[in-house]
Amino acid sequence: MKLLEEKISNVGQVIGTDILKVDMFLNHQLDVALLDEMGKEFHRLFSHKSINKILTVESSGIAIAVMAAKYFNVPVVFAKKANHKNVGTELYTVKSYSFTHGKEYTMAVSKKYLSSEDNVLIIDDFLAGGNASFALLDIINQSGAKLEGIGIAIEKGFQDGGKKLRDMGIDLKSLAIVESMDEVKGITFRNDC
Amino acid sequence: MKLLEEKISNVGQVIGTDILKVDMFLNHQLDVALLDEMGKEFHRLFSHKSINKILTVESSGIAIAVMAAKYFNVPVVFAKKANHKNVGTELYTVKSYSFTHGKEYTMAVSKKYLSSEDNVLIIDDFLAGGNASFALLDIINQSGAKLEGIGIAIEKGFQDGGKKLRDMGIDLKSLAIVESMDEVKGITFRNDC
């Protein structure tokens, strides 16, 4: 998605060869007009699927998921990473590991909001090694819901999460795939979408 | 806001006289069409103010704030409750206490995204004792930004946060104010908006 690639190139901040900071428009401050265009693009990419629910994970996935959901006209369910005591005791849970925060956490979704009746699109802000996506897949499997696809804002193409998911036959679409990045040479995108 | 009051009455779950569970449309599963209407209503209520930024706090505030921001055509900044190591070291921080989760936490906003240039509308999902609002006010004061108002989805009118904020002269608007609630008698709303 040209608009997102340009935004990443113009204001994203590369630290070393691995860290891409986009907190100025995606992770802390939110460029809502851009998020709206991203939501529209996710709908264009997956509109041929019969999706009745969008699943994401707090916090950074919520804004994009909601914007997409508006075009699909379906509800969003966001998995809780912490403080999920107040969503009840009937939960699907899975342990995952966050490299960003260097710690293990438990992801949870209430059984009330995901079941074998659901056709689910996962939406998230980042895909690198794929830990968050695999945790969400685990929850979908526990629920018996059908996975229709995964939509990612920014994929780090030089890490293996995307390859693993595509090799499983999953319909994964990323709006921007960073092929390589470097503080001096800048960012190169893969021409995939 | 009639639509929100009806939703709360129809699907919200009262536990005892103090807990109102709305995780089926606001805190875990998100009714995006309703959120869109709420965003539109916040814009109607505050459109006479010159607002250039919406401030909320992760996670439940994000979806409502983004929907409102779409109508104001301004960015959202969401305060981080945890894991704010990755937003840099130049932060406004404040300690707050969550009654829902029974623990103290540090709320943080990067200094890059809030300054004396900003005219801010706070948006949040719940107002009870007001702890989260007072923490956000503290951050706004640290930044030198101007507070234009506070928009709340659901206010528990029988707790004192709303009164305290209104007594300070703050332009606080809540889309639904729960006057009293009871597992048997149900929910009574204050006729304020």
Residues A18-47: tens digit of each pLDDT: 899 999 999 999 999 999 999 999 999 999
Determine the Cα–Cα distance for residues A67 and A174; give it in Å rounded to an integer: 16
Any CB–CB contact under 8 A between A15 and chain B? no
Q: Is residue A193 scored above 70 in pLDDT?
A: no
Q: Do A58 and B58 touch (CB under 8 A)?
A: yes
The Cα of B189 is separated from the nearest Cα of chain A by a number of Å equal to 23
Query: What residues in A contact B35, CB-CB < 8 Å?
Result: 66
Q: Is residue B59 scored above 70 in pLDDT?
A: yes
Q: Is residue A83 scored above 80 in pLDDT?
A: no
Task: Indicate which of A21, A30, A74 best probes the interface with B, i.e. most B CBs within 10 Å of its own CB.
Answer: A30
At residue A124, the pLDDT reads 98
Tokens found for residue B63: 């979806």
Tokens found for residue B89: 């070291």
Smallest Cβ–Cβ distance between B29 and the set A28, A67, A75 belongs to A75
Determine the Cα–Cα distance for residues B78 and B123; give it in Å rounded to an integer: 10
Query: What residues in B contact A124, CB-CB < 8 Å?
Result: none
Q: Is residue B84 scored above 80 in pLDDT?
A: no
Distances (CA, A) of A43 to A99, A150, B82, B188: 29, 12, 31, 39
At residue B52, the pLDDT reads 98
Any CB–CB contact under 8 A between B32 and chain A? yes
Tokens found for residue A68: 């997409």
pLDDT tens per residue, range A145-183: 999 999 999 999 999 999 999 999 999 999 999 999 999
Any CB–CB contact under 8 A between A30 and chain B? yes
pLDDT tens per residue, range A123-133: 999 999 999 99
Q: Which value does ipTM take for this structure?
A: 0.95
Predicted TM-score (pTM) of the model is 0.96
At residue B86, the pLDDT reads 66
| DSSP letter (8 states) at residue B145 | P
Any CB–CB contact under 8 A between B23 and chain A? yes
